[in-house]
Amino acid sequence: MSATPERTTSATTAPVASEPVLLSVRDLTTTFATNAGPLRAVDGVSFDLGREEVLGVVGESGSGKTVLSRTIMGLLARSRVTVSGSVRLDGVEIVGASENAMRQLWSTRVAMVFQDPMTSLNPVMRVGHQIDEVLRVRLGLSRTAARARSLELLSLVGIPSPAERYRAYPGQLSGGMRQRVVIAIALAGAPALLLADEPTTGLDVTIQAQILNLLDDLTARLHMSVVLVTHDLGVVATRTSRIMVMYAGRVVESGPTADVFADHRMPYTRALLECSPRVSNAPHTRLAAIPGRPPNLAALPAGCSFAPRCAYATERCHREVPALVETTTPGHQYACWNPLPARGGPRP
């Protein structure tokens, strides 16, 4: 990418905070042309991600989280997909960038941890070689240098006896180990931005915590910014600085994590929170669930897309789409006609 010669410097040097914002997303809309008509999987999403900031993107299945992260990665197929709006990574526009241009950014500027470690590693390649590949192809390291660096990365992600694991095939590793390898591969290019798309859904609960702690730890040590996509609010609660709640492709609430947890205004956010079981609940309490299903994105209801499932919906909700409005807390926004009262007292 000739337009950005200043960015060809080795990515291992932590970027000097020339701009405080690393990733700037403006009015991003991703539309799939389906046989049932256009389907807006991401609809007018805007946000900024600062350096070393961790953003949690939360929502049910089908809320557009994964499409959002793939759009930011520039990974969507080019046919039958329309992306409008702007995604700027360090000032470089990603929307509409060619695959060759993206290849310059992938791995060294932005990397991705995939959801399922079972499928995101090549089953017939030794894991060490899969890490080597990035180092050799992208960073131009020699075979021996790449091997040494791979071993470092393997121990960095907490894999015991890296020299042995280096020679293992993915099938010889457990799920948690595999996800560690996936993370090591993502880190190999020393990216400024890491997109983690449900990095723990495929894992056991105990392993989930380990992987999240690892990500947390690495974020701080390597000065990365992270977008953590998940459907599990428990995952983002302690590990993110900001949360963005998505529903049917739109952002319905976003703000500093603590604020969103304590003072959520959008009924959907509260519904999500109530779905998490709590230790303080009485034994045999029924698990809460949000009634109904996420709407069909190809046939969205007029007005607020959550209205059909919302207990507080009024006639206006079914008619007009609410815009994001600021609360008194800076950076905390919500999109709702009938917001919950501030400081989240239970509504009658």
Name the residues that contact other proteins, by CB under 8 A. Answer: 73, 75, 79, 103, 106-108, 111-112, 114-116, 118-125, 133-134, 137-138, 156, 158-160, 169, 171-174, 176-177, 182, 185, 188-189, 207, 210, 213-214, 216-218, 220, 239
3-state secondary structure the chain: CCCCHHHCCCCCCCCCCCCCEEEEEEEEEEEEEECCEEEEEEEEEEEEEECCCEEEEECCCCCCHHHHHHHHHCCCCCCCEEEEEEEEECCEECCCCCHHHHHHHECCCEEEECCCCCCCCCCCCCHHHHHHHHHHHHCCCCHHHHHHHHHHHHHHCCCCCHHHHHCCCHHHCCHHHHHHHHHHHHHHCCCCEEEEECCCCCCCHHHHHHHHHHHHHHHHHHCCEEEEEECCHHHHHCCCCEEEEEECCEEEEEEEHHHHHHCCCCHHHHHHHHHCCCCCCCCCCCCCCCCCCCCCHHHCCCCCCCHHHCCCCCCHHHCCCCCCEECCCCCCEECCCCCCCHHHCCCC
Pick the closer one to other proteins by CB: 115 or 333: 115
Pick the closer one to other proteins by CB: 199 or 294: 199
Pick the closer one to other proteins by CB: 117 or 255: 117
* Cβ 29 to other proteins shortest distance, Å: 22
Whether the CA torsion 150, 153, 158, 161 is positive or negative: it is: positive
* Cβ 50 to other proteins shortest distance, Å: 19
Pick the closer one to other proteins by CB: 42 or 111: 111
Pick the closer one to other proteins by CB: 203 or 266: 203
* Cβ 209 to other proteins shortest distance, Å: 9
* Cβ 131 to other proteins shortest distance, Å: 9
Pick the closer one to other proteins by CB: 142 or 213: 213
* Cβ 84 to other proteins shortest distance, Å: 22
For residue 156 the two structure tokens come to 């960095």
Pick the closer one to other proteins by CB: 174 or 296: 174
Pick the closer one to other proteins by CB: 124 or 289: 124
* Cβ 156 to other proteins shortest distance, Å: 7
